Amino acid sequence: MASVLELGSRVKEASRLLGIANSEQKNRALAAIAEALWERREEIVEANAADIAAGREAGLREGLIDRLTLNESRIAGICDAVRELIRAEDPVGIIESGSVRPNGLRIEKVRVPLGAVGIIFESRPNVTVDGAVLCLKSGNAVLLRGGKEAIRSNKALVAIMREAAESCGLPADCIVLVEDTSRESANEMMKLSGILDVLIPRGGAGLIQAVVKNSSVPVIETGVGNCHIYIERTADAQMAEAITVNAKTSRVSVCNAAESLLIDEECAPSLLPQIAKALFDKGVTLCGCEKSRALVPQMEPATEEDYATEFLDYRMSVRVVPDITEAIAHIGKFGTGHSEAIVTRDYAAAEKFLNEVDAAAVYVNASTRFTDGGEFGFGAEIGISTQKLHARGPMGLTALTSSKYRIYGNGQVR
Amino acid sequence: MASVLELGSRVKEASRLLGIANSEQKNRALAAIAEALWERREEIVEANAADIAAGREAGLREGLIDRLTLNESRIAGICDAVRELIRAEDPVGIIESGSVRPNGLRIEKVRVPLGAVGIIFESRPNVTVDGAVLCLKSGNAVLLRGGKEAIRSNKALVAIMREAAESCGLPADCIVLVEDTSRESANEMMKLSGILDVLIPRGGAGLIQAVVKNSSVPVIETGVGNCHIYIERTADAQMAEAITVNAKTSRVSVCNAAESLLIDEECAPSLLPQIAKALFDKGVTLCGCEKSRALVPQMEPATEEDYATEFLDYRMSVRVVPDITEAIAHIGKFGTGHSEAIVTRDYAAAEKFLNEVDAAAVYVNASTRFTDGGEFGFGAEIGISTQKLHARGPMGLTALTSSKYRIYGNGQVR
Break chain B into its structural domains and give their ranges.
Answer: 4-222+391-408, 227-370
- Report pLDDT for A377: 87
Band of the pLDDT at B289, cuts 50, 70, 90? very high
Cα nearest neighbour of A190 on chain B: B213
Residues of B in contact with A409 (CB under 8 A): 363-366
Band of the pLDDT at A205, cuts 50, 70, 90? confident
- Report pLDDT for B206: 87
Distance from CA of A58 to the nearest CA of B (A): 34
Cβ distance of B358 and A112 shorter than 8 Å: yes
Residues of A in contact with B214 (CB under 8 A): 216
Indicate which of B135, B212, B241, B370 best probes the interface with A, i.e. most A CBs within 10 Å of its own CB.
Answer: B370
Residues of B in contact with A95 (CB under 8 A): none
Say which range, A211-215, B189-193, B284-288, has the weakest mean pLDDT. Answer: A211-215
Cβ distance of B218 and A220 shorter than 8 Å: no
- Report pLDDT for B338: 97
CA gap B181, B197 in Å, rounded: 21
Residue A393's beta-bridge partner residues?
A385
> A142-176, pLDDT tens digit by residue?
999 999 999 999 999 999 999 999 999 999 999 99
Band of the pLDDT at B123, cuts 50, 70, 90? confident
CA gap B80, B75 in Å, rounded: 9
> B34-47, pLDDT tens digit by residue?
999 999 999 999 99
Distance from CA of B13 to the nearest CA of A (A): 10
CATH for B227-370? 3.40.309.10
Say which range, A304-318, B7-21, B218-232, has the weakest mean pLDDT. Answer: B218-232
Q: Is pLDDT larger for residue A141 or for residue A253?
A: A141
Residue B287's beta-bridge partner residues?
B300, B317
Task: Inform me whether the pLDDT recorded for A223 exceeds 90.
Answer: no
Cβ distance of A365 and B409 shorter than 8 Å: yes
Residues 6+ apart with CB under 8 A from A113: A15, A18, A19, A92, A138, A139, A140, A400, A401, A402
Cβ distance of A405 and B112 shorter than 8 Å: no
Report the percentage of chain A scoring pLDDT > 70.
100
Burial class (CB in 10 A: 0-12, 13-18, 19+), A56: exposed
Q: Does A409 touch chain B (CB under 8 A)?
A: yes
Q: Does A331 touch chain B (CB under 8 A)?
A: no
SS (H, E, C) chain A: CCCHHHHHHHHHHHHHHHHCCCHHHHHHHHHHHHHHHHHCHHHHHHHHHHHHHHHHHCCCCHHHHHHHCCCHHHHHHHHHHHHHHHHCCCCCCCEEEEEECCCCCEEEEEEEECCEEEEEECCCCHHHHHHHHHHHHCCCEEEEECCHHHHHHHHHHHHHHHHHHHHCCCCHHHEEECCCCCHHHHHHHHCCECCECEEEEECCHHHHHHHHHHCCCCECCECCCCEEEEECCCCCHHHHHHHHHHHHHCCCCCCCCEEEEEEECCCHHHHHHHHHHHHHHCCCEEEECHHHHHHCCCCEECCHHHHHCCCCCCEEEEEEECCHHHHHHHHHHHCCCCEEEEECCCHHHHHHHHHHCCCCEEEEEECHHHCCCCCCCCCCCCEEECCCCCCCEEECHHHHEEEEEEEEEEEECC
CA gap A247, A239 in Å, rounded: 12
Distance from CA of A239 to the nearest CA of B (A): 6
Distance from CA of A293 to the nearest CA of B (A): 27
Task: Inform me whether the pLDDT recorded for B360 exceeds 90.
Answer: yes
Task: Inform me whether the pLDDT recorded for A108 exceeds 90.
Answer: yes
- Report pLDDT for B124: 85
Band of the pLDDT at B377, cuts 50, 70, 90? confident
Burial class (CB in 10 A: 0-12, 13-18, 19+), A216: buried
CA gap B268, B232 in Å, rounded: 9
CA gap B21, B15 in Å, rounded: 10
- Report pLDDT for B126: 87
CA gap B375, B383 in Å, rounded: 13
Cα nearest neighbour of B352 on chain A: A20
Q: Does A22 touch chain B (CB under 8 A)?
A: no
Q: Does A73 touch chain B (CB under 8 A)?
A: no
Q: Is pLDDT larger for residue A9 or for residue B203?
A: A9
Cβ distance of B360 and A410 shorter than 8 Å: no
Task: Inform me whether the pLDDT recorded for A135 exceeds 80.
Answer: yes
**Sign of the torsion angle spanned by Cα atoms A286, A290, A294, A297:** positive
Band of the pLDDT at B205, cuts 50, 70, 90? confident
User: Predicted ipTM?
Assistant: 0.92
Nearest to B142 by CA among B169, B162, B168, B112: B162
Cα nearest neighbour of A387 on chain B: B197
Residues of B in contact with A220 (CB under 8 A): 389
Mean pLDDT computed over A124-132: 92
SS (H, E, C) A269-332: HHHHHHHHHHHHHCCCEEEECHHHHHHCCCCEECCHHHHHCCCCCCEEEEEEECCHHHHHHHHH
Phi, psi of A259 (to 5 degrees): -115, -15
Mean pLDDT computed over A48-77: 94
Q: Which fold has domain A4-222+391-408?
A: Aldehyde Dehydrogenase; Chain A, domain 1 (3.40.605)
Contact A168, A25 (CB under 8 A): yes
Task: Inform me whether the pLDDT recorded for B223 exceeds 90.
Answer: no
Cβ distance of B402 and A392 shorter than 8 Å: yes
- Report pLDDT for B153: 97
> A177-196, pLDDT tens digit by residue?
999 999 999 999 999 988 99
CA gap A15, A124 in Å, rounded: 25
How many alpha carbons fall within 13 Å on the CB side of residue B398?
17
Among the partner residues A243, A410, A412, nearest to B367 by beta-carbon distance: A412
Chain A residues 168-207 within an 8 A CB cutoff of chain B? 193, 197-198
Among the partner residues A359, A390, A409, nearest to B366 by beta-carbon distance: A409
Cβ distance of A114 and B388 shorter than 8 Å: yes
CA gap A191, A182 in Å, rounded: 15
- Report pLDDT for B221: 86
Cβ distance of A16 and B358 shorter than 8 Å: yes
Distance from CA of B44 to the nearest CA of A (A): 34
Task: Inform me whether the pLDDT recorded for A398 exceeds 90.
Answer: yes
- Report pLDDT for A381: 84
Residues of A in contact with B404 (CB under 8 A): 358-362, 392-393
Mean pLDDT computed over A223-232: 94
Mean pLDDT computed over B281-310: 97
Size of interface A-B (CB pairs under 8 A): 189
- Report pLDDT for A380: 79
Cα nearest neighbour of A19 on chain B: B356
Cβ distance of B411 and A242 shorter than 8 Å: yes
Q: Which residues of A166-181 are buried (b: 16+ CB within 10 A; e: fewer)?
A: bebebbbbbbbbbebb
Report the percentage of chain A scoring pLDDT > 90.
89
Angle at B22 between CA B19 and CA B28, to 5 degrees: 110
Report the percentage of chain B scoring pLDDT > 90.
89
Cα nearest neighbour of A360 on chain B: B404
Task: Inform me whether the pLDDT recorded for B1 exceeds 80.
Answer: no
Distance from CA of A49 to the nearest CA of B (A): 35
> B43-71, pLDDT tens digit by residue?
999 999 999 999 999 999 988 899 899 99
Nearest to A391 by CA among B410, B403, B166, B31: B403
Q: Does A387 touch chain B (CB under 8 A)?
A: yes
Cβ distance of B250 and A360 shorter than 8 Å: no
Band of the pLDDT at A63, cuts 50, 70, 90? confident
Among the partner residues A16, A19, A242, nearest to B413 by beta-carbon distance: A242
Residues 6+ apart with CB under 8 A from A324: A230, A232, A264, A342, A349, A352, A353
Q: Does B213 touch chain A (CB under 8 A)?
A: yes
Mean pLDDT computed over B241-246: 98
